[in-house]
Structure 1
Amino acid sequence: MKLSVKGFDIHSGFLDGAEQRAVLVAVRAVVAKAPFFRPVMPNGALMSVRMTAAGKYGWVSDEKGYRYSQFHPAGVAWPEIPTEVLAIWREVTGLERQPECCLVNYYGAEAKMGLHRDRDEASMEWPVVSVSLGDEGLFRMGNMTRGGKTQSHWLRSGDVVVMGGEARLAYHGIDRIRAGSSKLLPKGGRLNLTLRVVE
């Protein structure tokens, strides 16, 4: 089922159980090559999510600021984006253009992501595609500027969100995690895969 909220296209239950497990296996292979790390914000504080990536670029943060990088903080190149994940991109966007980055964020029970915009890419014409696995996350959708009325929606395991058009530069974030709402991850938590065209 597809739901459009403030320009965000939410494909509820896009991945069935078997497809979710296949993507999870692929993500674990990525993590084995590029382990999760806790990004440091420019102010020195640690982010509450753990992160890694696949593709030509990953996203890093430290005292120098937020930016894309071709290397994991350990100095190794990011692994390739799994074919199972690229298939999701093709199906929901219909685009021949492929993403160069797949961010992988892990949210524990207390993790969250403040309202932000994805604006470090070279062009805003391409959508951002977000895949949810594991525990439910309360997704908040805002506006083109900070402030104003927002709307929230619980994203469940297997849901896919496409942020394009008017939603491409809209503020959005994850307010909280509903711990224990999914049995996909043996130790609980939520995985979020975000596909982006960087160049």
Structure 2
Amino acid sequence: MQHDMFAESRSAVRIGPGAMLLGGFASAEARALLAQIPKLGAVSPFRHMTTRNGGRLAVAMFNCGETGWISDRRGYRYQSLDPETGNPWPAMPDLFRSLAGRAAAAAGFAGFSPDACLVNRYDAGTRLSLHQDMDEQDHDAPIVSVSLGLSATFLWGGALRADRPERHRLHHGDVVVWGGPSRMTFHGVDGVERGDHPETGPWRYNLTFRRAQ
């Protein structure tokens, strides 16, 4: 099922039990959010992490916050130090934390305070296969995902990887929140539109907020 109404109505739409797409929720703060990314990247640069099998992840990323998600030959996990610099991840900006908390509350999850933000940078055409966010110790807290820049198709699946996903168009400033019964739903990105966004140029950025510990 395709949902393309957000560019016009900027509506809030429930996509599952405990899951909402908040169309345009971050639009007013998008420029300020984007301005923080190069500052954070000067401390912990974007990189393409490797998988346990030695493959290269298609999405460039780094973390900010008290802890950060990493992938390498040892597998997936969170740790407080950036393995590339040996230093702590950059502190999460107050604007990031505030936005995540307000978006979570709008979706029914009051009191959310993330300790990790994964900053992803997608080139045009980049895909992210269906997966679960399962490396966090706290599965009671929701996931808050903020889209900035080029539009993309968000895949919203089910409890099993084989479940056929719904397809939702995500635009600049849209936020997806999922938790409760939907916390372990398989999800992914089925490609980023090629283009030249006025704020991000040839890229899509995604801020994924989590309570990892």
Q: TM-score, normalised by structure 1?
A: 0.94
Query: 2:94 aligned with 1:80, yes or no?
Result: no
1:11-63 per-position Cα deviation (integer Å, ceiling 9, x unaligned)? 011122x5111000112211111100111011111011001010011111111
Call closer, same or farther: CA 1:181–1:10 in 2, change over 3 Å: farther
1:56 aligns with 2:66: yes
In structure 1, the partner of 2:4 is none
User: Which residue is equivalent to 1:130?
Assistant: 145
Displacement after TM superposition at 1:111 (Å): 1.6
Superposition RMSD in Å:
1.3
Answering whether residue 65 of structure 2 is matched by residue 65 of structure 1, we say no
Question: 2:116 — aligned with what?
Answer: 101
1:97 CA drift (Å)? 4.2
The match for 2:25 is: 14
Give the C-alpha shift of residue 184 in structure 1.
1.3
- Cα distance between partner residues in 2 of 1:120 and 1:88: 23
Is 1:91 the counterpart of 2:102? The answer is: yes
Q: Deviations over 1:160-186 (max 9, x none)?
A: 110112221000000100121632113
The 3-state SS of whatever aligns with 2:103 is: helix
**Aligned to 2:178, which of 131, 139, 163?**
163
**What SS does the corresponding residue of 2:121 show, helix, strand or coil?**
strand
Shift of 1:123: 2.1
Tell whether the 8 Å contact from 1:136 to 1:182 is kept in structure 2 after alignment.
Answer: no
1:100–1:197 Cα contact (<8 Å) kept: yes
Contact 1:26 1:84 in 2 (8 A): no
Structure 2 alignment gaps of length 5 or more: 1-10
1:48-81, Cα deviation, whole Å (9 max, x unpaired): 1001010011111111111111111221110111
Q: In the alignment, is the contact (CA less than 8 A) between 1:117 and 1:170 conserved in 2?
A: yes
Please say if 1:33 is aligned against 2:48.
no
Do the aligned residues in 1 keep the contact of 2:26 with 2:146 (CA within 8 Å)? Answer: no
Aligned residue for 2:47, secondary structure, equals coil
**In the comparison of the two structures, how many residue pairs are matched?**
197
* Identity %, equivalent residues: 35
Task: Give the structure 2 partner of residue 190 of structure 1.
Answer: 204
Stretches of structure 1 that go unaligned for 5 or more consecutive residues are none
Q: How far apart in 1 are the matches of 2:39 and 2:71?
A: 23
Selected match of 1:43 from 53, 64, 67: 53
- Large movers: runs of 4+ above 6 Å: none
